Structure 1
Amino acid sequence: MPRPLRVAIVGSGPAGIYAADALLKSEVAADPGVSIDIFERMPAPFGLIRYGVAPDHPRIKGIITALHQVLDKPQIRLFGNVNYPSDVSLDDLRAFYDGVIFATGATADRALSVPGIDLDGSYGAADFVAWYDGHPDFPRTWPLEAEKVAVLGVGNVALDIARVLAKTADELLPTEIPPNVYEGLKANKALEVHVFGRRGPAQAKFSPMELRELDHSPNIEVIVDPEDIDYDEGSIATRRANKQADMVAKTLENWAIRDVGDRPHKLFLHFFESPSEILGEDGKVVGLRTERTELDGTGNVKGTGEYKDWDVQAVYRAVGYLSDQLPKLPWDIDSGTVPDVGGRVVQESGEHLQSTYVTGWIRRGPVGLIGHTKGDANETVSNLLDDYANGRLQTPASPAPEAVDAFLAERNVRFTTWDGWYKLDAAEKAQGEPQGRERVKYVEREDMLRESGA
């Protein structure tokens, strides 16, 4: 009797779980069957959803419900707190599995080359997000002494950072933020938050719903300068072709023409301002210099040579995420991705690295919304199954599932399981119950391992 197809997935965020789901829905899952092991470096699953989405976004975090249903399937095992490559290498994985799919996402900040970027008070978005999401590998405190703050970027991450900085700690208390984050935000001195984009309203990458949510807080006054509402032929074409871009532009137009109210925290959305330098004094941020830009007819912009200095004491750059390079895999340093064709990892020679695949942001870069990774996963899995059907996969030396458990035990790897997630989930919910909150996250890795019964 033929054994099930054995697949390892590295990464338990949406991309990895969507790949598992695609495998389970394939014809192969019915005969001869599919056996999937998901490896995750954190003690808890769900990746970006747990550690990359702002805590006041329960709608987005609701995606966990769908992902949870996939991981509940008996064909899937979770190995949490297992790091690639220090705990398990590519050669190790090949010994146990017919195919390996990497879905490790993107967690670092993309560089921004402007003078002053290394000053004290200049921060990357990824680090701040990891702090307020209670990531165990980041510091427990965050400096929030600045009364005026700049955020560079016009995507949803920039909105998340601006909103968290502008809200009060008590507004965020009903969410799952851990105690150290609540205490940190209580000490936040920010009264003005300035978000800067180098292009215009039609080119902003906000999603319409996230943009409108800025205005829902009773403490945040969203302000748009009427002079920043400008369109050229390229911008008009973008609005006509993209319903979301049009909705974003309309929201910004409405905010630009209204009177400024008296909410205590001001959140300014600036367009046509390109950061040229972060200003410093005694090694600390004391301002931001921008160059005014103007549309060139195509929707792109050009500099005008007019500069303005903004009085801010902290700068957060939210100009994109970057994936970590994966050892033993080819790497495109410019895009920060693993080269592939249809999800098949491609070596410098142009040949497919046998039995090795990628999906999600490690494959195409950190663009698009969470749901967009589903299409990636389907294509990658389709090609893996095609290779399986045509005998192109490498035969593992030790395909028995128990061989993996024995290997990790021999390496003294303290791993968590899917049953362990249920335990941690219950413990976090129990922490929140006395305060009427859905959950309160554990932050310390050791606490997570203990509650998971690792």
Structure 2
Amino acid sequence: MRKESELREHRPLRVAVVGAGPAGIYAAEALLKSDVDVAVDVLERLPAPFGLIRYGVAPDHPRIKGIITALHRVLDKPGVRLFGNVDYGTDLGLDDLRSMYDAVVFSTGANSDRPLPIPGIELGGSFGAADFVSWYNGHPDVPRNWPLTARKVAVIGAGNVALDVARMLAKTADELLPTEIPPNVYQGLKVNEATEVHLFCRRGPVQAKFTPLELWELDTSPNIEVVVDPEDIDYDDASVQARRSSMIVDQVTAVIEKYALRDPGNRPHRVHLHFFENPVEVVGDNGRVTGLRTERTELDGTGNVRSTGRFTDWDVQAVYRAVGYLSEPVAKLPFDDDNGTIPNEAGRVLDEDDRRLAGVYVTGWIKRGPVGLIGHTRSDAEETIACLLEDYRNGILDAPQDPSPEAMPTFLASHRCPYTTWEGWLRLDARERAIGEGQDRERVKVVEREAMLDASADPG
């Protein structure tokens, strides 16, 4: 345990944050805003920071990507350093971090697709939304090509990721060209054959988890006709109450009603929003998707739905599931497979016996599951850091063997781990903007990991 004399030791509290997405950066911000002298090192397995804001937000949503501006200001502050291209569990482990830092905060997020356990989900042409999102966002660790040969496509999900997938499949490549999509994504979308996208929601319009802006923007494309069957507009008492009690729910429902009440136009691509259709089987032939079978549901009076026993087979050649993200286990830490989280108490990691693991904390989706908006992520980080600082002040953090600022770069150099820095990100950012400027675009992403490292390298 840290002794009182060590608390008075003239050095900053040293904290490692694993993960440079919003959760990790907000944790760094909360530390920097405290009254404690602190030094924060943010470790990121990719060469560039910002996590799902860079690689999980659709490229035609620049307003959401504006969050990067705020995150940028945090990483630009004195007292915080970035070590990119450093993979926890491969390049270094928990014991390594604890030998250099007073505390470690894990903010590794949720990057995988939650499984959908229905027959046929493993067929060729059945995809997870997270993989597709990573592809069109130019993630360095996914294949450069994507099969876009299906003319009719099903998307399963009732949230914004499902809407993003449907919109990206229905928009033309030229519509998306002004965004930051890299050349391989533009060329892939250029040959996309999809003209009809069907999005399936198990419950009704009131229960959908869309946000109003996302839903409204779906109809702003000159190439997308949004279609809703008027028979899908149905409410029970609980649905009516939910609509009355939430302005956002009311706005979402109003947009859906507008789509249902109008006569469809003649735009070349159509996105059908289906409600009360529960996917029960991906139908296939010779190992490939040939359809999707759904069961009609109906409201049960509580806002939930029950089965009706009526089934429909939809003619589609590809299926995308967007039923949620899932965190992956973190090396040397306990993991709750059911919830996809690291067991914790207000951010303090708990071991298998529900005892606090001293000096180890979590924040973001790995802490609470992949739910909530950016605002939740900030408050989540503040809760975790408040616990960390309380533990520090109470003297229950173990002092590291080598708390010097040189410890981490020396360790990485000795293990021949090529890492990027904040200055390296600024160079990569400038490279991407320069490529974009040559094409009258704000930015064009550099995709290949080696190319990112090359652009980040110190020219000296």
TM-score with structure 1 setting the length: 0.98
> For residues 334-373 of structure 1, what are the structure 2 equivalents within 5 Å?
334-373=338-377
> 2:42 aligned with 1:47, yes or no?
no
Q: 2:18 aligns with which of 7, 10, 16?
A: 10
Partner of 2:429: 425
Structure 1 counterpart of 2:30, one-letter code: A
Amino acid in structure 1 at the alignment position of 2:43 = F
Inter-partner Cα distance in structure 2 for 1:246 and 1:137: 40
Distance (whole Å) between structure 1 residues aligned to residue 133 and residue 258 of structure 2: 29
Equivalent position SS for 1:357? strand
User: In the aligned structure 1, how far is the partner of 2:240 from the partner of 2:336?
Assistant: 35
Amino acid at match of 1:298: T
Question: Which digits, 9 at most, give the CA deviation of each residue in 1:243-262, with x for residues without a partner?
Answer: 11111001101110001001
1:210 aligns with 2:217: no
Q: What one-letter code is carried by the residue in structure 1 that aligns with 2:10?
A: P
1:274-312 deviation digits (Å, cap 9, x = unpaired): 001000011100000000000000000001000000000
- Give the secondary-structure state (helix, strand or coil) at the position aligned to 1:355: strand
- Superposition pairs of residues 287-306 of structure 1, within 5 angstroms: 287-306=291-310
In the alignment, structure 1 residue 156 sits paired with structure 2 residue 164:
no
Q: Secondary structure at the match of 2:198?
A: strand
1:273 maps to which residue? 277
* 2:247 is equivalent to residue 243 of structure 1: yes
Deviations 1:230-253 (A, max 9, x none): 011111121122211111001101
Aligned amino acid, residue 334 of structure 1: D
For 1:289-345, what per-residue CA distance to the aligned partner results, in whole angstroms no more than 9, with x for missing partners? 000000000000001000000000000000000011001111101001001100000
Q: Which letter does structure 2 place at the counterpart of 1:265?
A: H
Name the Cα RMSD after superposition: 0.7
TM-superposed deviation, 1:88: 1.3
Match of 1:26 among 10, 34, 38: 34
2:452 is matched with 448
Q: What is the alpha-carbon distance in structure 1 between the residues aligned to residue 34 and residue 25 of structure 2?
A: 14
Q: Which runs of 5+ in 2 are unaligned?
A: 1-8
The 3-state SS of whatever aligns with 1:182 is helix
Deviations 1:52-77 (A, max 9, x none): 01000000000000000000001000
Aligned AA (2:216): R
Partner SS for 1:356: strand
Q: Structure 2: which amino acid aligns with 1:125?
A: A
Can you give the 5+ residue segments of structure 1 that lack an aligned partner in the other structure? Answer: none
Amino acid at match of 2:108: T
DSSP-derived class of the 1:378 partner: helix
Corresponding residue number in structure 2 for 1:186:
190
Report 1:136-147 matches (<5 A): 136-147=140-151
- The alignment status of 1:321 with 2:325, answered yes or no, reads yes
Structure 2 SS opposite 1:345 = strand
Q: For 1:195-206, what aligned pairs fall within 5 Å after superposition?
A: 195-206=199-210
Say whether residues 1:389 and 2:397 are aligned partners. Answer: no
CA distances 1:48-103 after superposition (whole Å, capped 9, x unpaired): 00110100000000000000000000100000000011111010000010110000
What is the CA distance between 1:370 and its match in structure 2? 2.1
Instruction: For 1:59 and 1:281, locate their aligned partners in 2 and report how far apart those are by CA, in whole Å.
Output: 42
- Separation in 1, partners of 2:367, 2:244: 30
Residue in 2 that maps onto 1:88:
92
Q: 1:135 aligns with which of 135, 139, 152?
A: 139
What is the deviation of 1:371?
A: 2.4
How far did residue 142 of structure 1 move?
0.2
Amino acid at match of 2:331: P
- Count of aligned residue pairs for this structure pair: 450
Q: Deviations over 1:407-449 (max 9, x none)?
A: 1100000000000000000000111111100011011000000
SS of the residue corresponding to residue 267 of structure 1 reads strand
Q: For residues 127-151 of structure 1, give each alpha carbon's deviation from its aligned partner in whole angstroms, at most 9, with x where no partner exists.
A: 0000000001000000000000000
Please report how far the alpha carbon of residue 17 of structure 1 lies from its aligned counterpart in structure 2 after TM superposition.
0.3
User: Which 10-residue stretch deviates more, 240-249 or 173-182?
Assistant: 240-249
Name the amino acid aligned to 1:90.
L
Tell me the residue number matched to 1:259: 263
Output the CA distance in 2 between the equivalents of 1:277 and 1:93: 46
Q: Which structure 1 residue ranges, 4+ long, deviate > 2 Å from structure 2?
A: none
Q: Whole-Å Cα distance in 2 between the matches of residues 126 and 266 of structure 1? A: 23
Distance across 1 between alignment mates of 2:242 and 2:356? 38
Q: Secondary structure at the match of 1:336?
A: coil
Instruction: Measure the CA separation in 1 of the matches of 2:291 and 2:90.
Output: 42
What SS does structure 1 have at the residue aligned with 2:406? helix
Letter of the 1:314 partner, please give it: A
Q: Secondary structure at the match of 2:219?
A: helix
Which of the numbers 73, 80, 83 marks the counterpart of 1:79? Answer: 83
Letter paired with 1:402: E
C-alpha separation between the residues in 1 aligned to 2:246 and 2:94? 42
AA in 1 matched with 2:98: R
- Give % identity: 67
* 3-state SS in 1 of match to 2:99: helix
Distance 2:163 2:375 in 1: 19
The AA in structure 1 aligned to 2:317 is Q
